[in-house]
Amino acid sequence: MRELLKLVGCEFKKLRRKRFIKLTIAAACLFPTPLIIAMAKDGQSFIQLFRAVVMFDDILFLPCVLGIVAIILFSMEQDSDTLKNLLVIPVSKTNIFLTKLTVLFLLSLIYTLAAYAASLIGGLIIGKISDVPFLFSVSIGLGIFVFLATVPVIAIIIVCNKSKVFSIIIVLIYAVLGFVTVQTIGRGSVLDRLTFALPICITGKWYLGIVPVEQALSYILPYTLSTPVAFGLLVAYGIAFTLLSLFSYKRTEI
């Protein structure tokens, strides 16, 4: 465990030199600004603001961020030709892999909490703020769920082992398709049938069921998922695709 914590610290030190990480955390805080302005004009509630921030920041943007950071993390040693040196120390490929997943998990939590903080600031600006402890717990849940929902696309990146451009395209397609599908929940569209095939949609169905919605959106409630069901499905996805990723990563040529 101590070795794993040291490796996590080393990975964060390497990422700290990457401007992309700092920009994405800043984006999580700045992204709600247009929503705050629009909702302040319309006189909407804090819950509506929080829900909108989550939809764009956590459901759409965060899978893109985690996917691209995963590409950076899993190509770092190959790009600098240092993987063989790590294995000589020795550090097992399993520990290297688990370290990178742990970093992605922590980044997911940091990102969702940054978006939550931005929502609170927005709530203070529009003069409406409520359910602070409850929404804090929802944000932590979102950090966990979105990470688990992104593990399948991380597996695709590792298994395919293609160019960075190809991997980024896969990440963007996954994130956008998931976001669009979440928007169709309860509308009986063709995309609605993908809600269990795409883990990010499971996250959306859980989130829409746990956060209060106004009367106009009450039609989606029969299609939402409880916390135990959503968590169970996402853990199953996470374990299956983590094992697939680990198997493929251990077979990577040095």
Q: What is the pTM of this model?
A: 0.87
Q: What is the pLDDT along the chain (254 residues), one digit of tens a residue?
A: 676 777 787 777 777 777 777 777 777 667 777 777 777 677 777 888 888 888 888 898 899 989 988 888 888 766 555 555 555 566 778 888 888 899 999 999 988 998 888 888 888 877 778 788 899 999 999 999 999 999 999 998 888 876 788 888 999 999 998 888 888 776 665 556 666 678 888 998 898 888 877 777 777 888 888 899 999 999 999 999 999 988 888 776 55
The CA–CA distances, whole Å, from 27 to 53, 57, 61 equal 12, 9, 9
Measured distance CA(252)–CA(62) in Å, rounded: 27
Nearest in space to 154 (alpha carbons), one of 101, 93, 233: 101
Q: Up-side HSE of residue 237: CA atoms within 13 Å toward CB?
A: 27
State pLDDT tens for residues 194-235.
Answer: 666 788 889 988 988 888 777 777 778 888 888 999 999 999
Burial 7-19 (b: 16+ CB within 10 A, else e): bbeebeeebeeee
Contact criterion met (CB below 8 Å) for 157 and 171 = yes
Contact criterion met (CB below 8 Å) for 32 and 115 = yes
**DSSP state for residue 163 in the 8-state scheme:** -
Token reading at 49: 């603001």
Contact criterion met (CB below 8 Å) for 225 and 218 = no
Nearest in space to 252 (alpha carbons), one of 120, 142, 97, 119: 97
Token reading at 137: 């717990």
Question: How many structural domains is the chain composed of?
Answer: 1
State pLDDT tens for residues 109-133.
Answer: 988 998 888 888 888 877 778 788 8
Nearest in space to 125 (alpha carbons), one of 32, 24, 27, 26: 32
Nearest in space to 231 (alpha carbons), one of 195, 207, 197: 207
The pLDDT value recorded for residue 151 is 94
Domain that holds residue 135: 2-250
